[in-house]
Structure 1
Amino acid sequence: MRKQIPNIVTLLNLFSGCVAIVMAFQGNFKAVVLWVAAAALFDFLDGLAARLLKSYSPIGKELDSLADVVSFGVAPAAAVFILLRDYSLIPGYLEPLHPLLPYLAFLIPVFGAYRLAKFNIDERQTTSFLGLPIPSNGLFWISYCYGMTGVAAGNEYIFYLTAGLIILMSLLMISEIPMFSLKIKELAFKGNEKQILLVVLMILFVAFLGIAGAAWGIVAYILLSISTYHKDVK
């Protein structure tokens, strides 16, 4: 039974993602944020439990990817779908395509699934990442949708921004751009400077901008990863 604890936690991640999808289609973006945040917590705890109990298993690895593609791929995509379908002002010349345009959102789980499959067979990503991790992408989108529901209906440029970000963020997930891991290995500042700076920035963004500030935190994560990588290379 002890060996199944990490798998049970992973399944709680999956359950949270399923509830988040339902909340998205009900237009309850605050609940989407809460349930995806719960999924992210379980995603962290399953790995922690596996390390503490020394109960790594092939089935655990597969379950983790399946849960992640639902919680951080399909659930955020459902929120983006509703944002585009029900809340966004579509430019006039694109109005005939209005019923089809929201389906752009499902590029998010498509690229997310490919990113996870790539990660699972890539031995280079043991201590850091190549490409944007799918949980970070998912957290970006749920906070983005929460922040945009009040303004998307009054500005058609929000549609262009959303469509462009869907493509950009999807490509970032499967890119070869190095991204640092958020795990803090030791309780010391040295060696964890980027992680600590990101935590501080995330707290400040959320404190001043609310839930929508989390999206800016993910942007900061991407920019920090790119800028510090170039410094390391030099």
Structure 2
Amino acid sequence: MSIKKHIPNTLTSCSLLSGCIATVMAFNGQYWWVVIFVIIAAIFDFSDGFAARLLKAYSPMGKELDSLSDMVSFGVAPSVMIFHFLNENVAAISRNSLVQEYLPYIAFLIAIFSALRLAKFNVDERQSDSFIGLNTPANALFWVSFCCALSGQDRFPSVMDIQPYISGGLVYIVIGAVIVFSTLLTAELPMFSLKVKSWGFKGNELRYFLALFMVAMLIFFGILGIAAGILLYIALSILDNRNKKLDSAA
């Protein structure tokens, strides 16, 4: 087999390595580096599929390796980060020792539902050009940017200087969001793919609008802009799905 056939799996392995490093950074509470390595993992994750299509190097092994890599980079790494964040801040909502010890483990719902989402994706033939449910990279990018911004470790230059304040209400929001996003991972909700097949504006209107919005949010709000962009992505997918249903019913 020529060396080019190994390129997609090598890129996938680089994504997995980035996810492993992100997980270590999350255990150490170095949230900014978690964001960096999850973004690197996402870039490699995009590149392996692009390389496989370009080189016509598809393989059953590559498909399975991609899911295993995604599980670590976009399932385990953000879960550990959420766990660390809750473990550091759960005292804001309770002084009970049992609550403080065990409540942070709710973070691993993200890992569980990411695994369910990836297993479902591998056997669901409806998801070749779009997604059913929130994809794991988008979910991971939301969480790592959100927790990084809340922790005050954001190093991205921005117009607004946001000083985070961890309140009990904010901790409850994080816990509630864990449950909501876990549900979104396996929900029967059609969501448009973020992968661009052509660079033309027609057919990519939502993608370009989302990209411009995220850039604007990054400029004004720093790393929190990524989380805002993911929320917009979910909202646009819901609206797009609603419009398609109305068009088909007309």
State the TM-score, normalizing by the size of structure 2.
Answer: 0.90
Q: Quick check: 1:87–1:152 contact (8 Å CA) kept in 2?
A: no
Residue 213 of structure 1: which of 205, 225, 234 is its match?
A: 225
CA–CA distance in structure 2, aligned partners of residues 143 and 202 of structure 1:
12
Tell me if 1:176 matches 2:176.
Answer: no
Tell me the equivalent position of 1:148. Answer: 150
TM superposition shift of 1:30: 0.5
Cα deviation digits, residues 6-53 of structure 1 (max 9, x gap): 001000000000000111111110000000000000000100110111
Structure 1 residue corresponding to 2:105, chosen from 103, 106, 117: 103
Aligned partners of 1:88 and 1:152 also within 8 Å: no
Q: Which runs of 4+ in 1 moved over 4 A?
A: none
**Could you tell me how far apart the structure 2 residues matched to 1:114 and 1:96 are?**
29
Q: CA deviation at 1:95?
A: 4.9
Q: What CA deviation, in whole Å up to 9, does each residue of 1:174-214 have, x standing for no partner?
A: 00101001122222111111111111111111111111110
- How many angstroms apart in 2 are the aligned matches of 1:157 and 1:177? 28
Counterparts of 2:58 and 2:151, CA distance in 1: 41
- Could you tell me which runs of 5 or more consecutive residues in structure 1 were left unpaired when the two chains were aligned: none
Which of residues 8, 11, 14 in structure 2 aligns to 1:12?
14
Q: Deviation digits for residues 91-113 of structure 1, max 9, x if unmatched?
A: 23655311101111111010000
CA RMSD of superposed structures (Å):
1.4
Q: Which moved more, 1:147-156 or 1:34-43?
A: 147-156
What is the match of residue 121 of structure 1?
123
Structure 2 CA distance for aligned equivalents of residues 196 and 77 of structure 1:
29
Q: How many residues align?
A: 234
After superposition, where does 1:39-188 map in structure 2 within 5 Å? 39-92=41-94, 94-150=96-152, 154-188=166-200
Pick from 192, 195, 199 the counterpart of residue 211 of structure 2: 199
Moved more, 127-136 or 90-99: 90-99
SS of 1:167's equivalent in the other structure is: helix
How many Å separate the matches in 1 of 2:138 and 2:94? Answer: 33
